Amino acid sequence: MNTMKTLLLMALLTGIMVAVGGAVGGSSGASLMLVISLAMNFGTYWFSAPMVLRSYGAQEIAREDAPELYGLIESLAQRAGLPMPTVAVIESDVPNAFATGRNPEHAAVAVTTGILRVLNYEELSGVLAHELTHVKNRDILTSSIAAAMAGVISWTAQMAFFFGGRSDDDDGGGLGGLVTILLAPIAAGLIQMAISRSREYAADEGGGSLCGNPRYRYLAKALEKLDYYAKHGDVMQDATPATAHMFIINPFEGVGSKIANLYSTHPATEDRIARLNEQARRIGR
């Protein structure tokens, strides 16, 4: 199912990019954007993990750099029947985490220094189990491609604004370019929402089960803390709306920006916590 979603997403976003190119530069613009989109599809499939990690300045670590963190991920990966992913740390006081890559054999899990500071061992295990569930469910390729393509669409829309968006083939191309500027981010946001909300619930459930006993409490407590910091702390440096869906908590949770809200892909944290607590009660009974 995720493979089909990924293919549909690539095809749909390629179509949007070609439409943007056509509105900005006519047939030559559409052809150029088709070539770019095909190159992007190839690049994001093979190099999605390093691209995303590099964009956030994440540094890959070995066991000797952070033995407790590395050992925890290794233990959870073994419990989930997964290969050991690349482990990376982002220098940021904002607590958050994400997983990326094209498949479980080429996956990476990244955490911020902030999350290592504010969560205890059990809560961190819940977060990491959530991310490894995304890996196991093969959500990570779809997320990485959505992030890369949505970023390019937004960039192209901005270029259309600066260069006028006039088509060689149509005297009304200027208006078409303006419409594209308005619709491209909306289309990207809607696509991300369509592929992300149910997946977060599934990763919560799988992560809550994976991280140990009491199974669901660890992750629920972690989400409470992360939600507080997201709403009352600073926005992570280098965070973009196009990549917000990759994190366990939306890094723009506390920002009232229309663009940030447009790209919101996470269910309400309160709903996620309520589901986890209900699952914990059922397990307890």
Catalytic residues: 131
Report the SS3 class of residue 172.
coil
The SS3 of residue 97 is: strand
Asked if 46 and 141 touch (Cβ cutoff 8 Å), the reply is no
Token pair belonging to 134: 């995304």
The DSSP letter of residue 103 is S
Cα separation, 126 vs 115, in Å, equals: 12
3-class DSSP state of 1: coil
Which residue, among 10, 19, 53, has the nearest Cα to 156 in the 3D structure?
19
Q: What are phi and psi for residue 255, nearest 5 degrees?
A: -100, 130
HSE-up of 252 (CA within 13 Å, CB side)?
21
Structure tokens at 100: 């990326």
In contact, 96 and 131? CB cutoff 8 Å: no
- For the four alpha carbons of 100, 101, 103 and 105, in that order, the dihedral sign comes to negative
